[in-house]
């Protein structure tokens, strides 16, 4: 996938901003570095960088209705199975609903929830970054 030059520029700016965060004193199980930007907490620098790119895309009107941490209540035959929380949900310029998750390591639990969310929401496109 080739990035638009403006998106690459936004990613470079995001990396510069993400580098200003302090390292936590304890190590994470998956070696991610939790960070905070403008009062919002992110599970990793990678997630923060992607968020800044999506904000830039929204500013350029390439995507719309950007929503962070949307919840999906996964119900099958009236039974509540679980709740899946994605990283983002937004609409592209064609109006297609896109659900995006930023994963460095896909756990078994996440894979099951991801597959179930995709099956129960066929009108949305699910992508990982």
The residues near 25 (Cβ < 8 Å, ≥ 6 apart) are: none
Compare 15 and 48 and report the one with higher pLDDT. Answer: 48
Does residue 48 surpass a pLDDT of 70? yes
* Section 104-108 average pLDDT: 84
User: C-alpha dihedral over 107, 129, 38, 18, to 10 degrees?
Assistant: 100
Domain boundaries, the chain: 1-60, 63-129
The dihedrals phi and psi of 51, each to the nearest 5 degrees, come to -60, -45
pLDDT at 14: 66
Give the best-scoring range by mean pLDDT among 4-18, 33-47, 54-68: 54-68
* Section 54-64 average pLDDT: 94
Does residue 23 surpass a pLDDT of 60? no
Compare 120 and 1 and report the one with higher pLDDT. Answer: 120
Compare 39 and 2 and report the one with higher pLDDT. Answer: 39
* Section 106-121 average pLDDT: 92
Q: Cα 56 to chain center, whole Å?
A: 14
Classify 37 as helix, strand or coil: strand
pTM of the predicted protein model: 0.72
């Amino acid at each position: 996938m080739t990035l638009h030059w403006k998106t690459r520029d936004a990613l470079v700016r995001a990396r510069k901003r993400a580098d200003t965060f302090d390292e936590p004193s304890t190590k994470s199980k998956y070696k991610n570095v939790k960070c905070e930007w403008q009062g919002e907490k992110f599970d990793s620098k990678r997630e923060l960088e992607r968020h800044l790119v999506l904000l830039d895309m929204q500013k350029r009107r390439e995507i719309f209705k950007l929503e962070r941490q949307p919840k999906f209540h996964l119900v099958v035959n009236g039974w509540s199975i679980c709740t899946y929380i994605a990283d983002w949900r937004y609409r592209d310029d064609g109006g297609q609903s896109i659900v995006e998750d930023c994963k460095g390591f896909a756990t078994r639990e996440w894979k099951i929830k991801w597959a179930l969310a995709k099956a129960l929401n066929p009108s949305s496109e699910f992508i990982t970054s």
